[in-house]
Amino acid sequence: MDELKVVEGYMPFKGYKTWYRIVGENDLGRLPLLTIHGGPGNTHWYLRSLDELARKYHRQVIYYDQIGCGYSKAPSNPDMWSAELFEEELHELRRHLGLEHVHLLGQSWGGMLELQYATHRPSGVASMVVASSPADMDLWLAEAIRLRSYLPREMEQALAQADVDGDYDRPEVKAASAEYYRRHVAAVPEDERPEKWRKPFADPVGDEVYHTMQGMSEFVVTGKLSHWSVVGKLGDICIPTLVTSGTADECTPLIAKQIADGIPGAEWALLEGTHMVHLERPEEYNATIEEFMERHE
């Protein structure tokens, strides 16, 4: 198998450095795809199944770790983390890499950031893929609690109690959380995935980003994203949009449909899988988004 060309580097940002990875080269007039990882506080690693777009379709794929996450090291600073900060970083990365014309893909929190960015009418975005993301955190939370209610009663109660007393280390809470994640977040846990799709190191500042932005669990939003919403602005987005989600995704059809209905002309692809459907059905997923991008170049 031919090795893909990979270029890695850093962009100065806020006194720190944002790490990026550019995979492959564009052929046949294709535009690059800039990916935006989720979390908040995750890294690019779990999106690397998109490398195959570069290998199979000769489309350059660009990843980055958001500041404070992964290779984009920064010290602990809860006051710093905000949706506005990460949107500014996205804007600066496009400028730094000269991405005047580009496709975007944001997964989960990355899609939220992408939607927020799109409401500000950025130029040069040929299309965007909103992958398993909400446009409204209140709806996301309500759906997560609904999905939790389908767990065995003792598991549901364990998770609900942990959100009250803050003790997420009890064995029954960990077991219940693992079952919820298996059903709705990732059919294959991160530590069982191929090594190339796994974060290779502990990331305490990235964890801090999650707790600062989201909270302590999937079922309470006590952080800075509490009541975050762009629903009222979806109609202003004029970028061709593909919404993707999984049949068992914590991004339920109700959540995905809110975006697909709200953005004029948006399309929606519902694939069999969980929140990590791009990893669970990589060939089908990559073909789906590639076909969409090719129609919008």
Query: Which residues are identified as catalytic?
Result: 108, 249, 275
What order of strands is seen across the sheet that includes strand 6-13?
6-13, 16-23, 61-64, 33-36, 102-107, 125-131, 241-246, 267-271
- Angstrom distance (rounded) from CA 7 to CA 49: 17
Burial class (CB in 10 A: 0-12, 13-18, 19+), 154: exposed
Letter for the amino acid at 243? V
Distances (CA, A) of 1 to 4, 160, 195: 9, 48, 18
| Beta carbons within 10 angstroms of residue 172's beta carbon | 14
Letter for the amino acid at 239? I
Per the listing, tokens 């899988």 go with 273
- Angstrom distance (rounded) from CA 242 to CA 187: 23
Cis preceding linkage at 152, omega within 30: no
On whether the CB atoms of residues 212 and 57 are closer than 8 A, the answer is no
Find the angle CA(270)-CA(149)-CA(221) to the nearest 5 degrees. Answer: 80
- Angstrom distance (rounded) from CA 292 to CA 297: 9
| Beta carbons within 10 angstroms of residue 79's beta carbon | 6
Per the listing, tokens 């939003």 go with 221
| Beta carbons within 10 angstroms of residue 195's beta carbon | 7
Closest to 254 (Cα-Cα) out of 141, 115, 127: 141
